[in-house]
Structure 1
Amino acid sequence: MEKDETVILAGATGYLGDYIAQELYQRSIQTIILARNTKKAAHLANSHTKIIKSEVTDSKTLHGYFEGVTTVISTVGITRQKDGLTYMDVDYQANKNLLQEAKKAGVKKFVYVSVLNGKQHRNLKIIEAKELFVDELIASGLNYTIIRPNGFFSDMKDFLNMAKKGKVYLFGSGEKKINPIHGKDLAIACVDSIRVSNEEINIGGPDILTQNEIAELALLASGKPINIIHIPHWIRKSILKLVRTFTSSKTYGPIEFFLTLMAEDAIAPRYGSNRLVTFFHDEMDVLKP
Structure 2
Amino acid sequence: MILITGASGFVASHLIPRLHKDGHQLRCLVTNEAEGARIQAPGAELAVGNVTDTEGLRAAMAGVDTVIHLVAIIREFGPNTYHKINVVGTQNVVNAARDAGVKRFIHMGILGASPDPRYTYLHSKWLGMEAVKNSGLDYSILQPSVMFGQGAGFVASLIRSVNMVPFIVPIAGDGKSRLQPIWIGDVVSCVLKMVAGEKSGESCPVGGPEIVTYETMLDELLRAMGKKKLKVKIPRPLMLPVVAVMDKLFANPPISMGEFKSMEIENTTEPDAVENQFGFKPMPLRDGLGYLKKA
Q: State how 1:177-188 maps to structure 2 within 5 Å.
A: 177-188=178-189
**Counterpart secondary structure, 2:182:** coil
Q: Quick check: 1:149–1:268 contact (8 Å CA) kept in 2?
A: no
Residue of 26, 32, 46 corresponding to 2:27: 32
How much has 1:268 moved relative to structure 2? Answer: 2.5
**Counterpart secondary structure, 1:259:** helix
Cα distance in 2 for partners of 1:19, 1:197 equals 23
Paired position in structure 2 for 1:3? none
Distance 1:206 1:116, change over 3 A: same
Q: Structure 2 length normalisation: TM-score?
A: 0.82
- The letter of the residue matching 1:152 is M
Q: Quick check: 1:172–1:263 contact (8 Å CA) kept in 2?
A: no
Q: State how 1:270-285 maps to structure 2 within 5 Å.
A: 270=271, 271=274, 273-285=282-294
Q: State how 1:4-153 maps to structure 2 within 5 Å.
A: 6-44=1-39, 46=41, 49-153=44-148
Q: Structure 1 length normalisation: TM-score?
A: 0.83
How much has 1:11 moved relative to structure 2? Answer: 0.6
How much has 1:52 moved relative to structure 2? Answer: 1.7
Paired position in structure 1 for 2:216? 213
How much has 1:275 moved relative to structure 2? Answer: 4.1
- The letter of the residue matching 1:169 is P
Paired position in structure 1 for 2:277? none
Correspondence 1:230 to 2:239: no
Correspondence 1:266 to 2:261: no
How much has 1:60 moved relative to structure 2? Answer: 1.4
Q: Quick check: 2:17–2:40 contact (8 Å CA) kept in 1?
A: no
How much has 1:276 moved relative to structure 2? Answer: 3.2
Paired position in structure 2 for 1:157? 156
Cα distance in 1 for partners of 2:133, 2:73 equals 21
- The letter of the residue matching 1:93 is V
Deviations 1:97-132 (A, max 9, x none): 211111111111111112112135443222333222
Cα distance in 1 for partners of 2:115, 2:87 equals 17
- The letter of the residue matching 1:215 is L
Deviations 1:166-194 (A, max 9, x none): 32222333233212122222122122123
- The letter of the residue matching 2:36 is A
Cα distance in 2 for partners of 1:40, 1:94 equals 19
Cα distance in 2 for partners of 1:45, 1:210 equals 35
How much has 1:201 moved relative to structure 2? Answer: 0.6
Segment drifting more, 90-99 vs 48-57:
48-57
Paired position in structure 2 for 1:172? 173
- The letter of the residue matching 2:258 is F
Cα distance in 1 for partners of 2:261, 2:20 equals 37
Runs of 4+ in 1 over 6 A off after TM superposition: none
Distance 1:103 1:187, change over 3 A: same
Distance 1:214 1:102, change over 3 A: same
How much has 1:205 moved relative to structure 2? Answer: 1.9
Cα distance in 1 for partners of 2:127, 2:212 equals 31
Runs of at least 5 residues in structure 2 that lack an aligned partner in the other structure: 275-280
Runs of at least 5 residues in structure 1 that lack an aligned partner in the other structure: 1-5
**Counterpart secondary structure, 1:40:** helix
Segment drifting more, 42-51 vs 75-84:
42-51
Alpha-carbon RMSD across the aligned residues, in angstroms, is: 2.8
Deviations 1:28-71 (A, max 9, x none): 11111011023223242545621221222111112333233111
Q: Quick check: 2:140–2:203 contact (8 Å CA) kept in 1?
A: yes
- The letter of the residue matching 1:78 is I
